[in-house]
Structure 1
């Protein structure tokens, strides 16, 4: 598990504030004991361009980026908040015993500097680099040895420590269970400021050119700053005030744009639901006092929610932010880095919870206990409190189940939702490899035949009766005017008989078919469709791509 990862499932609102089988064949349906799932596609309705940047990842290798034709690659996560570009050293905070570690250039999952830019551009992709705003960054010893923020020799015994590495590095908790306070931040970090990060961008421009000349185009402003008091409490033990984040974003954005005026700044990179509405200071305060009298809401944001207030402050300062970004992870156990068991209950939650991204009638049943409809919410916030039309991004998301077909169906669902709902940028959190079903789900959209075959570029209407069981997404492909249709059978143990009615496209023809089932992505039998109806039987837990060619009617 890469040390840049960290837990994402919070099971209580207050804590969150802080913190099968199936055949791989696809055949035309002949008979069924139940009515087929009625899917309707209209190639002339709900047309919307699909941004290619929704197919991004975090920490992708050159090989992964090439094979999946990934257009954008983010270097972020908790380590990025304390990355020292001059020393090429990082500190993942609570994720790994608050150790400041020299980056290993051979570790393909932990690039933060020019190596990351090089490997990303080698695949023809665009990098996103994270600019720290924490105020302190990692330092290492004279021989580049690891340094500990909570040295056991200095601060006493601690119940957990790095048994496989620097054994002096404790977890910052005393033997009685209380957090160690009053540590010296100079033990494992040095001060950082906008001028130092500006010098970093200058160095990148010198090496790679400016944003409009083949260099780094996107810079993210830190990572989940309302959790600094948890993740990086060794150097920022008090939750960040709303004003601190508003002002720091402006200052660091100016530093970036002074070095490269064409660069694009991404912010605020907040972690999740509680982090959208409450500053880090108010989240920390809520542990003991709840949210009835949140100090920052009362004294700094004048009653406004945290993220909308940030947007309003940035608009008042000009245009420091170019892309409005958030992070989101489902909170019902669908995604957990601790290795929680994937049960049928979790699988069904995974099938449903993608509604959090779009459905105004779906109430999240977890501690969130609210309608999320995140993509429309982000669009509304950007248009209301900042500049209408500002690009919106999810720079971290993950629905879990990486080694399961249930995870693959969720991933395919997410990519379809991103395109249909008009998200501008998305980068999936977590490293992936070709053995994983989720990897193949992305490949189905981006390079299903190994020769650049991809889902279409203009989203069109595709309606289903129940997206929790069978979901569908359609798009026209500009390159050859094909109609591409992804149908996802999420059902755990039941095939789906489908009848797809097709309007405003050729009424007769042959659909080339590619299918992901049983963790195998392969060409399936072509399907003939007539009178504007395509019929097919889809295996349980499968993702099927139909490619229909023919002139629009």
Structure 2
């Protein structure tokens, strides 16, 4: 059942971009037999700053996965969380699954939103992020906990698609001819919700697990991608949310949560992506028919300010309702998709370079975004300018796709390295992870590469490679044994690389313990010696290599 959601925005440049990428791939093929020489520089005295351990989080992780990956944070979110009814343990994923309200399946990790999710997360020693609905209505069930449909075929007539494998009366909310059904009764499959009800939910969690300062739930995310309610949850919120609605609701629900647990940390606004950063749901809905010029909320409510910065300014004026500024981001060039082919050479090459969206002020996204993103610096600028400088920033949903591909693993390793280098405070990857996946092993290389808790260092230092689209590098110091940890990622699809790593302000010679992820296997290589402040290594195509460097002094400590 496809409950893990993502709404894709149209990519107007797909065909042209694919042709350009394929022509670039032909150049790669011509030199695939010759290793690419790469000069990497590492300076242990430059660029020093702590790496937040919370960047290695996931969504809907099992206890076993959380333990094996030493994942510090586990988020329960997604579209079902917007309409989760904690009193009856029921959810509604909206458009994702025929607008059905149905009982949560306790055996399905992707259905965990309540106390079970907190318990399984804490059992792994991880911190849960629990999502609090702000939609205003939550799921309801029939008298015997049976599934209810927002767009019953029996009530609203034939619809071109319905749930053939489950609740057959649940239609997709579209009338014959293709127009959405309007004027449905929201009471068919939902019941009203308000801040007081969610306050009672938090109070119940505090009663069971203690407060945030005493080992209970620390983070509460306020809803999920609210500027898409009119698409995902149009059965109960058919009109896009105005900017003022979201500003006011975050303040109200934050106060409700903190009334039950004063030490709880509020995570918001959890917006979906590029357009959702700049335009309210109401404006996005308006733009679908009229374009983005003269959108009503931008003109009337925010006085010309982009949506998210305006929200931050409103929240600052209200005190300090938000503790973590959070957004979602998915690359838009076909890298991540729940359906369709994502393993073409064109997509793989796009996946290699689009991680620049996270940091590079000189990279213009070539998709419909058609702009420089540089997301982490942008988020930091926004909180420092419009909210409280130094407020933690988080990307609580992201996914670069290619779960079963080494290309996906190299992208995931690149993303984790970027998070640490750029100073992101918290991140949780969207999507199911299991040990068979290369992307799972990319996490493990950073967090538990030897199976005994050994990890990438916690103090970022400078590491530079000439072309991060082909080979990228990230370095950090590890406090417990004074080792220098270096991740080098050969993203090239079919060409090895010969790396020469120069080391400044670290021991000139010593031993490099070497771990590698290649061909979906994570394994240890024989230790290598380095000398004259230079480490040399051959890197297979589509591989991630971790070097744990111990200088002569460290070896004798």
Query: 8 Å contact 1:58–1:74 — kept in the other structure?
Result: yes
- Find the counterpart in structure 2 of residue 371 from structure 1: 372
Query: 8 Å contact 1:323–1:391 — kept in the other structure?
Result: yes
- Find the counterpart in structure 1 of residue 183 from structure 2: 182
- Find the counterpart in structure 2 of residue 135 from structure 1: 136
1:123 Cα deviation from its structure 2 partner: 0.1
Q: Deviations over 1:200-255 (max 9, x none)?
A: 00000000000000100000000000000000000000000000000000000000
Query: 8 Å contact 2:486–2:547 — kept in the other structure?
Result: yes
Q: 1:95 to 1:63 in 2, by over 3 A?
A: same
Q: 1:141 to 1:33 in 2, by over 3 A?
A: closer
What is the alpha-carbon distance in structure 1 between the residues aligned to residue 170 and residue 69 of structure 2?
A: 39
Unaligned runs of 5+ in 1: 14-31
What is the alpha-carbon distance in structure 1 between the residues aligned to residue 483 and residue 2 of structure 2?
A: 40
Query: 8 Å contact 1:469–1:489 — kept in the other structure?
Result: yes
Q: Which aligned pairs between 1:72-471 and structure 2 lie closer than 5 A?
A: 72-471=73-472
Could you say what secondary structure the match of 1:514 adopts?
A: strand
Q: 1:446 to 1:2 in 2, by over 3 A?
A: farther
RMSD between aligned residues: 1.3
What is the alpha-carbon distance in structure 2 between the residues aligned to residue 341 and residue 125 of structure 1?
A: 32
Could you say what secondary structure the match of 2:110 adopts?
A: coil
Query: 8 Å contact 2:36–2:495 — kept in the other structure?
Result: no
- Find the counterpart in structure 1 of residue 481 from structure 2: 480
Query: 8 Å contact 1:514–1:521 — kept in the other structure?
Result: yes
What is the alpha-carbon distance in structure 2 between the residues aligned to residue 276 and residue 6 of structure 1?
A: 16
Q: Deviations over 1:512-550 (max 9, x none)?
A: 000000000000121211000000000000000000113
1:340 Cα deviation from its structure 2 partner: 2.5
1:2 Cα deviation from its structure 2 partner: 4.5
1:503 Cα deviation from its structure 2 partner: 0.6
1:339 Cα deviation from its structure 2 partner: 3.2
Query: 8 Å contact 1:8–1:337 — kept in the other structure?
Result: no
What is the alpha-carbon distance in structure 2 between the residues aligned to residue 79 and residue 356 of structure 1?
A: 28
1:109 Cα deviation from its structure 2 partner: 2.1
What is the alpha-carbon distance in structure 2 between the residues aligned to residue 168 and residue 143 of structure 1?
A: 17
Query: 8 Å contact 1:9–1:336 — kept in the other structure?
Result: no
Query: 8 Å contact 2:342–2:401 — kept in the other structure?
Result: no
In the superposition, the TM-score normalised over structure 1's length comes to: 0.95
Give the total of aligned pairs.
535
Could you say what secondary structure the match of 1:491 adopts?
A: coil
Q: Deviations over 1:168-194 (max 9, x none)?
A: 000000011100000000000000000
What is the alpha-carbon distance in structure 1 between the residues aligned to residue 240 and residue 299 of structure 2?
A: 16
1:5 Cα deviation from its structure 2 partner: 2.3
Query: 8 Å contact 1:7–1:337 — kept in the other structure?
Result: no
- Find the counterpart in structure 1 of residue 60 from structure 2: 59
Unaligned runs of 5+ in 2: 14-32
Could you say what secondary structure the match of 2:485 adopts?
A: strand
What is the alpha-carbon distance in structure 1 between the residues aligned to residue 489 and residue 34 of structure 2?
A: 21
- Find the counterpart in structure 1 of residue 23 from structure 2: none
Query: 8 Å contact 2:91–2:104 — kept in the other structure?
Result: yes
Q: Deviations over 1:426-453 (max 9, x none)?
A: 0000011000000000000000000001
Query: 8 Å contact 2:39–2:501 — kept in the other structure?
Result: yes
The reply on whether 1:495 has 2:496 as its aligned counterpart is yes
Q: Deviations over 1:265-300 (max 9, x none)?
A: 000000000000000000000011111111001110
Q: Deviations over 1:288-329 (max 9, x none)?
A: 111111100111000000000000000000000000000000
- Find the counterpart in structure 2 of residue 25 from structure 1: none
